[in-house]
């Protein structure tokens, strides 16, 4: 097993041990730290995934974005090309589960939003370094998407998902900030 997969498995194991009260406590702190951040406050269009437990909860963040007058765009995976497109949702009922048990936008009911129109992209992942390099779920979707995206990036993570190091490959693209339950890490 390569190092990336070893760490992916270790982190999935670690995440699976997070109790529901701590999952909620940390997710709420992360959300609060996000709302206090200028990148959130200044952004109108937010790109974000719909979380699947035990990923940091994003349902509360999506609701908050709507309540704050922001637009929410959600990724749709295109497995053949390993590509992502983002689609604006205005209600949770515009989601469906087709790929990997993830909730994704229903294409027919939502409008695609191009990368140049997204202000802040919240990139999902399993583990991060302090430099913002991320270990995703292994599809490389964001490593392919980010070269064509010039807006702000960040990741949301439980504090234990920030680890000292892992093997970074040439195609890996870092995020600019990591917001944890404890701190905001500026990576570059
Ligand atoms: N920009 C890219 N162009 C082509 N292949 C890529 C690109 N980015 C990633 N890949 C491929 O996608 C696969 C998964 O990438 P990896 O970085 O391990 O996943 P993740 O970023 O999801 O953790 C690798 O085989 C990698 O070679
Ligand atoms: Mg990668």
DSSP 49-63: PPP-TTSPP-HHHHH
Low-confidence ranges of the chain (pLDDT < 70): 1
Q: Is 104 in the pocket of ligand 1 (CB under 6 A)?
A: no
CA–CA dist 44, 157 (Å, integer) = 22
Indicate if ligand 1 lies below 6 Å from the C-beta of 138: yes
- 1, 153, 171: which to mutate for ligand 1, most atoms within 8 A of CB? 171
Chain segment 47-87, per-residue pLDDT in tens: 999 999 999 999 999 999 999 999 999 999 999 999 999 99
Distance 141 CA to ligand 1 centre (A): 7
CATH superfamily of 3-186: NagB/RpiA/CoA transferase-like (3.40.50.10420)
Single pTM value for the model: 0.97
> How far is the C-alpha of 154 from the C-alpha of 122, rounded, in Å?
5
Q: Is 126 in the pocket of ligand 1 (CB under 6 A)?
A: no
CA-CA distances (angstroms) from residue 11 to 29, 74, 88, 122, 140? Answer: 20, 24, 31, 19, 18
């Amino acid at each position: 097993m390569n190092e990336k997969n070893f760490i992916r498995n270790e982190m999935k194991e670690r995440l699976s041990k997070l109790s529901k009260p701590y999952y909620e406590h940390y997710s709420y702190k992360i959300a609060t730290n996000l709302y206090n951040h200028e990148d959130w406050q200044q952004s109108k269009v937010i790109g974000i995934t719909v979380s699947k437990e035990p990923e940091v909860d994003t349902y509360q963040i999506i609701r908050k974005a709507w309540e704050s007058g922001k637009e929410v765009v959600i990724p749709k995976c295109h497995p053949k090309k390993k590509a992502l497109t983002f689609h604006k949702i205005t209600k949770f009922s515009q989601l469906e589960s087709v790929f990997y048990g993830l909730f994704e936008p229903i294409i027919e009911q939502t409008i695609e939003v191009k990368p140049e129109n997204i202000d802040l992209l919240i990139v999902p992942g399993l583990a991060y370094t302090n430099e913002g390099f991320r270990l995703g779920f292994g599809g490389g979707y964001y490593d392919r998407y980010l070269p064509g995206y010039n807006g702000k990036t960040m990741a949301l993570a439980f504090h234990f998902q920030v680890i000292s190091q892992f093997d970074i490959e040439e195609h890996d693209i870092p995020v600019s900030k990591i917001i944890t339950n404890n701190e905001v890490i500026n990576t570059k």
